[in-house]
């Protein structure tokens, strides 16, 4: 028997891969960093499980692509058939393995069927493993692909729970956990996009894992179309997680190649916070490329919930002036600006400015926006068309899916696989970007797809790539009725996500906290909504709405003409605070805190060099105790001393705080060591529900 071994290392973790007798490689370890002189052969055989009765006579490896021919009795990594439907069982042979630094390339062939499989594994310094594969037909016969997973990693026995996200429109990122059980658990998105309730993400947790401690392993598929996630436990106790595109029955012809999306895996020994910080670094250092990285993230004003389709040049100028006075730096003109768009029943696809609403085009509005010191952004929904539109009347054959399909928000989707469709959209958007000084596109996608294939998503990526190449100065936001298309596939082509169509600050605070596991704060749009929330009907205080927005990429989305003097003053103050702190916040390390009060959601961001931090603690509903539980901080230097002060000392709910002796509310502040703050913790003042405690800390 021959055994080849490889390892990939970061400062905090190690991945070990082996191949026996030139067979498909497998990952035999991923976890805390191992000694550099560890005997990987001994590790391999030291962790092999014994065989028992009523099994095959050889060990079936849980390889990067588990194969049935080896005796594997669970979901395989690659399911194939010929064009007559006969199953094809692979037996790949490793013909080449190359390692350059922390990157591994495996090349395998399957001589009987005629296939080549190339696997690439790259470990980033921030402990994120990027894994992807390419399958090529090298034989003379076409094959049908039923299932093609990204490379598969084992789930260690110490992982006792799975965490993933469900959700809905206006209620995205609802965390759910379940214990491992024998058998398979499957989640699929058939929407043709990521989906409000189908984030391609999961985490495997240990029994002691929390935000701040314990081992955590994470998976995220960088793909914006339909996808599948499988978690499976075998009879012998081994476990696997597979992520793949939803692409059943795809035919691959001779010399054609199909690749998988990148799967981003992370290991943390510091709980969920270690995992999210690695993912945030991946976004900052590899995936997100801002047009001007040195420019501070601008405060947005979006006019949608102020005017909807009721566009008036004078009214918009008034809103722009007020927004600038409040501190906004980018004005986004939302839906309703283009030809015939007076409601959501018509005009999608006709991407020219409505001459009735804007006789001189958008120039007068943009000139005013520039005069008051803001940049200009524009809403578009290029992938969609209304049946009542000039585009549909001219090209009904451009629609994706069957004619008898249901409408969604009164619209259909365009078939981006049609070259003429892609060219039309590119020309229409290019014409707008050439004529007007547009700094930003809010790119929406307001319906699920019928009859979509994975090529639709690839064509969408292609359109974004073409536009970004010609207009590199334009920033793009991914919106899909809120959070319907949030993943690392779209974020490799855009710069910001609209987390949800809900501007209810209570719901937003929860969603932002959960989404932080995969989203850095500077790319997560969060707007101060109207006094009465349009999606929930709740009336929430301005301070709470503004502080929730100030914890991410801040903006306003309301009719500013309705603000009273007190609300205006509060919004100005918190916006000024955000602008003074945004640069260090968006380079810092975000930590979710382990609150002992289920009604309190708390997190803190520590500056990259550790010299300061800010703590947000929001009360979601009346607490059960009649006082506050102690809140432990995290991510601080144990021996350093910190001064803590409230960022809003004058807004304490005095009627319910009869006696509170903490100097946090005073100018001198509370001074404690990092060790004390992380072990003893601090007490926060009592607040009413929908209030935010914001505490600033500085290292002395």
CATH label of the domain that carries residue 622: 2.60.40.1180
How far is 238 from 255, CA to CA, in rounded Å?
36
Q: Take residue 387 and report the two structure tokens written for it.
A: 């049946």
Q: What is the CATH number of the domain that holds 66?
A: 2.70.98.60
Which residues are CB-neighbours of 1 under 8 A, at least 6 positions away?
20, 21
Residues 554 and 655 occupy one common structural domain:
no
Structure tokens at 632: 């432990």
Residue 239's closest CA among 262, 261, 217? 217
The position carrying tokens 């918009």 is 316
Q: How far is CA 3 from CA 24, 44, 320, 350, 423, in A?
A: 12, 10, 68, 62, 52
Of the listed 164, 444, 487, 504, which one is catalytic? Answer: 444
Of the residues 568, 586, 604, the one at which a domain ends:
586
Query: Considering the domain boundaries, does residue 42 fall inside one?
Result: no
Closest CA to 452 of 487, 405, 505, 390: 405
Residue 36 in domain: no
Q: Please, are residues 366 and 376 in contact by the beta-carbon 8 Å criterion?
A: yes
Whole-angstrom distance, CA of residue 505 vs CA of residue 527? 9
Residue 186: its H or E element: strand 183-189
Position 3 in a domain: no
| Known active-site residue 501 | yes
Q: Does any domain span residue 50?
A: no
Same domain, 649 and 668: yes
Other beta carbons within 10 angstroms of residue 190's beta carbon come to 14
C-alpha to C-alpha distance for 211 and 276, rounded to whole angstroms: 10
| Distance (Å, whole) CA 330 – CA 261 | 34
Q: Is 391 helix (H, G, I), strand (E, B) or coil?
A: helix
- What tokens appear for 60 in the block? 């079936």
Give me the catalytic one of 501, 504, 564, 583.
Answer: 501
Number of domains in the chain: 3
Residue 505 CB neighbours (<10 A)? 29
Q: Number of C-alpha atoms within 13 angstroms, CB side, residue 133? A: 23
Q: Are residues 533 and 622 in the same domain?
A: no
pTM, entire model: 0.97
Q: What is the mean pLDDT of the chain?
A: 96
Is residue 319 classed as helix, strand or coil in its secondary structure? helix
Q: Which helix (H) or strand (E) holds 41?
A: helix 40-46
Tokens of 678: 């992380």
Location of structure tokens 């007020």: 322
Do 681 and 597 have their domain in common? yes
Rounded Cα distance between 56 and 68, Å, is: 12
Nearest to 601 by CA among 175, 160, 204: 175
State the DSSP code for 211. Answer: S
- Which residues, listed in sequence order, are joined to residue 330 by a DSSP beta bridge? 300, 375
- In this structure, the answer to whether residues 581 and 598 fall within a common structural domain is no
Q: Is 614 helix (H, G, I), strand (E, B) or coil?
A: strand
User: Which tokens belong to 614?
Assistant: 């800010």
- Whether the CB-CB separation of 103 and 231 falls below 8 Å is answered with no
**pLDDT at residue 654 in the model:** 58
Question: 585 φ, ψ to 5°?
Answer: -60, -40
Instruction: Note whether 457 and 361 are same-domain residues.
Output: yes
Q: Are 581 and 614 in contact (CB under 8 A)?
A: yes
18 part of a folded domain = no
Range of the domain at 317: 300-586
Is residue 332 within 8 A of residue 440, CB to CB? The reply is yes
> Quick one: 188 and 311 in the same domain?
no
CA distance 532 to 514: 24
Domain end among 586, 616, 634:
586
Question: Does residue 461 sit within a domain?
Answer: yes
**Structure tokens of 176?**
């759910």
The answer to whether residue 520 is domain-embedded is yes
Regarding whether 281 and 310 lie in a shared domain, the answer is: no
Element (H or E) spanning 489, and its range?
Answer: helix 488-491
For 234-280, give the secondary structure using H, E and C.
CCCCCEEEEEEECCCCEEECCCCEEECCCEEEEEECEHHHHHHHHHH
Contact by Cβ (8 Å): 634, 273? yes
Q: Looking at the domain assignment, is residue 37 inside a domain? A: no
Name residues of the chain where pLDDT drops below 50. none
304 lies in the same domain as 378: yes
Q: Among candidates 424, 443, 415, 403, which has minimal Cα distance to 192?
A: 415
Distance CA 510, CA 541 (A): 17
The pLDDT tens digits of the residues spanning 666-700 come to 889 999 999 999 999 999 888 889 999 999 999 99
- Residue 691 has φ and ψ, to the nearest 5°, of -130, 150
The contacts of residue 47 (CB under 8 Å, 6+ apart) are 28, 29
* Percent over 70 (pLDDT), the chain: 98
Name residue, tokens 């499988």. Answer: 230
- By CB atoms closer than 10 A (0-12, 13-18, 19+), residue 110 is buried
Half-sphere exposure of 322 (CA within 13 A, CB side): 22
Residues 600 and 694 in one domain: yes
Q: Where is the domain boundary, 287, 319, 351?
A: 287
Three-state secondary structure of 514-574: HHCCCCCHHHEEEEECCCECCCCCCECCHHHHHHHHHCCEEEECCCHHHCCHHHHHHHHHH
What is the C-alpha to C-alpha distance for residues 5 and 28, in angstroms, rounded to an integer? 10
Distance CA 344, CA 350 (A): 13
* CB atoms inside a 10 Å sphere around CB 492: 18
d(CA 338, CA 353): 4
3-class secondary-structure state, position 213: coil
Report in angstroms the alpha-carbon separations of 380 from 93, 341, 348, 476: 49, 12, 9, 10
CA max distance for the chain: 83
Q: What is the pLDDT of residue 628?
A: 81
Q: Do 186 and 311 have their domain in common? A: no
- 456 and 577 assigned to the same domain: yes
Side-by-side strand order, sheet with 13-20: 3-9, 13-20, 26-32
CATH number for the domain harbouring residue 492: 3.20.20.70
| Segment holding 331, helix H or strand E | strand 330-333
């Amino acid at each position: 028997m021959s055994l080849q071994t490889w390892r990939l290392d970061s400062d905090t973790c190690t991945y070990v891969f082996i191949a026996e007798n030139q067979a498909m490689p497998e990952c035999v370890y991923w976890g805390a960093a191992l000694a550099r002189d560890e005997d990987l052969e001994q590790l391999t055989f030291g962790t092999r499980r014994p065989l028992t009765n009523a099994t095959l006579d050889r060990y079936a490896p849980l390889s990067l692509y588990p194969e049935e021919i080896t005796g594997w009795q669970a979901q395989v990594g690659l399911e194939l058939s010929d064009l007559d439907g006969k199953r094809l069982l692979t037996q790949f042979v490793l013909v080449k393995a190359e390692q350059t630094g922390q990157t591994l390339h495996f090349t395998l062939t399957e001589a009987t069927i005629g296939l080549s499989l190339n696997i690439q594994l790259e470990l980033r310094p921030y402990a994120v493993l990027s894994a992807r594969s390419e399958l090529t037909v090298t034989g003379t016969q076409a094959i049908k692909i039923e299932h093609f997973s990204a490379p598969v990693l084992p789930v260690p026995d110490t992982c006792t729970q799975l965490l993933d996200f469900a959700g809905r429109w206006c209620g995205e990122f609802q965390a759910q956990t379940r214990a491992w059980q024998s058998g398979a658990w499957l989640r699929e998105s058939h929407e043709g996009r990521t989906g409000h309730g189908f984030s391609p993400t999961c985490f495997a947790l240990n029994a002691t894992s929390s935000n701040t401690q314990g081992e955590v392993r994470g998976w995220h598929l960088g793909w914006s179309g339909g996808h599948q996630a499988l978690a499976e436990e075998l009879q012998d106790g081994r476990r696997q997680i597979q992520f793949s595109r939803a692409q059943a029955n795809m035919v691959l012809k001779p010399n054609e190649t199909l690749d998988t999306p990148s799967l981003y895996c992370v290991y943390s020994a510091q709980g969920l916070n270690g995992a999210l910080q690695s993912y945030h670094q991946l976004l900052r250092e590899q995936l997100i490329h801002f047009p001007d990285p040195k420019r501070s993230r601008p405060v947005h004003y979006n006019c949608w919930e102020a005017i909807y389709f009721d566009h008036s040049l004078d009214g918009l100028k008034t809103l722009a002036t007020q927004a600038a006075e409040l501190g906004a730096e980018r004005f986004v003109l939302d839906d309703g600006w283009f030809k015939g768009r007076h409601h959501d029943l018509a005009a999608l696809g006709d991407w020219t400015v409505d001459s009735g609403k804007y006789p001189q085009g958008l120039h007068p509005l943009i000139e005013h926006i520039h005069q008051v010191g803001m940049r200009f952004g524009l809403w578009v929904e290029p992938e969609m068309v209304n049946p009542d539109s000039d585009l549909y009347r001219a090209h009904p054959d451009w629609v994706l899916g069957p004619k008898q399909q249901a409408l969604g928000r009164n619209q259909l989707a365009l078939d981006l696989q049609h070259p003429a469709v892609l060219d039309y959209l590119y020309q229409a958007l290019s014409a707008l970007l050439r004529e007007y000084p547009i700094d930003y596109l809010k790119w929406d996608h307001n319906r699920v797809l019928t009859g979509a294939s994975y090529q639709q998503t690839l064509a969408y990526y292609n359109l974004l790539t073409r536009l970004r190449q010609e207009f590199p100065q334009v920033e793009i936001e991914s919106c899909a009725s809120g959070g319907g298309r949030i993943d690392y596939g779209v974020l490799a082509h855009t710069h910001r996500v609209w987390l949800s169509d809900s501007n209810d600050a209570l719901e937003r605070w929860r969603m932002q906290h959960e989404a932080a596991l995969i989203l850095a704060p500077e790319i997560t749009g969060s707007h101060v909504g109207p006094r009465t929330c349009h999606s929930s009907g709740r009336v929430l205080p301005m301070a709470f709405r503004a502080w929730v927005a100030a914890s991410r990429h801040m903006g306003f989305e309301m009719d500013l003409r309705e603000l009273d003097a007190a609300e205006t003053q509060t919004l100005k103050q918190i916006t000024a605070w955000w602008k003074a702190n945004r640069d260090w916040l968006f380079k810092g390390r975000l930590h979710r805190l382990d609150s002992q009060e289920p009604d309190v959601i708390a997190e803190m961001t520590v500056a990259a060099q550790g010299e300061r931090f800010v703590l947000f603690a929001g009360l979601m509903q009346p607490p059960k105790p009649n006082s506050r539980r102690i809140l432990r901080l995290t991510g601080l230097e144990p021996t350093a001393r910190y001064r803590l002060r409230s960022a809003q000392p004058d807004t304490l709910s005095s009627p319910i705080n009869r006696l509170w002796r903490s100097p946090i509310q005073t100018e001198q502040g509370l001074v404690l060591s990092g060790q004390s703050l992380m072990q003893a913790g601090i007490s926060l003042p009592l607040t009413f529900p929908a209030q935010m405690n914001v505490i600033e800390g500085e290292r002395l």
